[in-house]
Amino acid sequence: MTYDTIILGAGAAGMMCAAHCGGRVLVIDHAKAPGEKIRISGGGRCNFTNMHAGPGNFLSQNPHFCKSALARYTQWDFVDLVGRHNIAWHEKTLGQLFCDGSSKQIIRMLLDEMCGAGAELWVQTSLRDLRKTESGFALEVERDGQRQHLTCTNLVLATGGKSSPKMGATGLAYDIARQFGLRMTETRAALVPFTFSDGRFKDLSGVSLPVRLSNDRASFDEALLFTHRGLSGPSVLQLSSYWREGEPIRVNLIPDLPLLDLLRTQRQSAGRKALTTELARQLPARLVDHLCRIIPMSGKLADQSDAKLAELTAALSAWQLVPSGTEGYRTAEVTLGGIDGEAERKFDGFVELGFREVGEHLDGVHEGKLFLQVGT
């Protein structure tokens, strides 16, 4: 069978591409159903875009890579598409947009778009062989236990990155890129929790609070969650994309709290209270119990000098930690790095090969998971 375009991957990028590329189109995926990562995104409600998304939010060795794509298709274009399909949505923290209902509504929308454009979809179909021909590409796939031979003029890789292997993620796109000699950048798990090998936060598992989490490259004011393995939550996931093994991170536990002034005031009116008791009014009690083992905070409020209180608040605003690592691709939401965006931008090797790439496996991931990324 012959097609104008064959798209490998029926995720957000693959389905969006199928809806727009025209001609006779076939989308292939090895999963049982399309859009498996969409289904689990946003806790089942799909954080499909962000009101404030722009080129500066995309991480790539080529910072200009995503500019042309975002100029042609913005977050508001996607919001308009969601509206045309009568999908209700709401804004959460920092401009994140979620479905009121279910992630399945976004999957249905993308399926309707691609089917409306006349594209075919084959799921539970595996690629067995791929080679370049004079007129395009020849593929051998396995479907329903049978081998089938396909040809196409254009081939699109939209198989995604390595993150969430339980959802069927593989490194297929990278293997194909290497097969055809395309340049790669280093890949690593991103939007992923930090781990600490000594289990130091087991007693704090489940405790969360707003923090300012930073390193020398970036800073994020969002929630932090302690887990039995280490640290998670929005601030941690964001910073993980800017972190390297062995580097320290800084946790400001009181980013918007005038703690020094509060403690001074309480010292005057309730000086007989234990310092830890007052701190437990401002921070989670379990966290205070944990911190008192590593930061001096014994005694009553009346016993604390201004210098001691200033020293304490400084320590709470700059708690330095060195993670052992991350949870890796197993729980990562995205893959950082991949096929060189500079090569794609210049079409170096792409025009003569006759294929394009869309999606997560390109070196140009958004710092927060959202569906505007499908256009890059």
- Mark whether 98 and 165 lie in a shared domain: yes
Average pLDDT value for residue range 104-110: 97
Q: What's the confidence (pLDDT) of residue 185?
A: 86
The yes-or-no verdict on residue 340 having pLDDT over 90 is: no
- Mark whether 44 and 172 lie in a shared domain: yes
Tokens of residue 221, six digits: 């004011």
**Minimal CA–CA distance to 296: which of 282, 284, 311?**
311
- Mark whether 245 and 178 lie in a shared domain: no
- Mark whether 312 and 200 lie in a shared domain: yes
Query: Do the Cβ atoms of 120 and 130 come closer than 8 Å?
Result: no
Burial class of residue 279 (count of CB atoms within 10 Å of its CB; 0-12, 13-18, 19+)? buried
- Mark whether 184 and 278 lie in a shared domain: no
- For the stretch 47-73, what's the b/e string if a residue is b when 16 or more beta carbons lie within 10 angstroms of its beta carbon? bbbbeebebebbbbebeebbeebbeeb
Average pLDDT value for residue range 166-183: 87
Query: Do the Cβ atoms of 273 and 246 come closer than 8 Å?
Result: no
Distant-in-sequence contacts of 199-204, Cβ < 8 A, 24+ apart: 199/228, 199/229, 201/226, 201/227, 201/228, 201/230, 201/231, 201/290, 202/228, 203/286, 203/289, 203/290, 204/286, 204/287, 204/290
Query: 208-214 and 47-50 as β-strands: parallel, antiparallel, unpaired?
Result: unpaired
Tokens of residue 154, six digits: 């254009």
Q: What's the confidence (pLDDT) of residue 365?
A: 55
- Mark whether 148 and 282 lie in a shared domain: no
The yes-or-no verdict on residue 360 having pLDDT over 70 is: no
- For residue 36, give its domain range: 2-188+333-375
223 forms beta bridges with: 210
216 vs 207: CA distance, rounded Å? 26
Tokens of residue 175, six digits: 């293997």
- Mark whether 20 and 168 lie in a shared domain: yes
CATH number of the structural domain spanning residue 221: 2.40.30.10
**Minimal CA–CA distance to 5: which of 361, 376, 354, 358?**
354
Q: What's the confidence (pLDDT) of residue 359?
A: 64
pLDDT in tens, 26-62: 999 999 999 999 999 888 999 999 999 888 888 877 7
pLDDT in tens, 236-262: 999 999 999 999 999 999 999 999 999
- Mark whether 7 and 153 lie in a shared domain: yes
Tell me the three state secondary structure of residue 310.
helix
- Mark whether 17 and 128 lie in a shared domain: yes
Q: Residue 231 — very low, low, confident or very high, per pLDDT cuts 50/70/90?
A: very high
Tell how far CA 290 is from the center of its chain.
Answer: 30
- Mark whether 246 and 363 lie in a shared domain: no
Query: Do the Cβ atoms of 46 and 98 come closer than 8 Å?
Result: yes
CATH number of the structural domain spanning residue 61: 3.50.50.60
Domain count for the chain: 2
The yes-or-no verdict on residue 325 having pLDDT over 90 is: yes
Query: 58-59 and 365-366 as β-strands: parallel, antiparallel, unpaired?
Result: antiparallel
How wide is the angle at C-alpha 102 spanned by C-alphas 19 and 90, nearest 5°? Answer: 95
- Mark whether 215 and 270 lie in a shared domain: yes
pTM of the model: 0.84
Query: Do the Cβ atoms of 222 and 368 come closer than 8 Å?
Result: no
Query: Do the Cβ atoms of 37 and 15 come closer than 8 Å?
Result: no
- Mark whether 308 and 364 lie in a shared domain: no
Read off φ and ψ for residue 268, nearest 5 degrees: -75, -40
Residue with the larger pLDDT of the pair 30 and 346 = 30
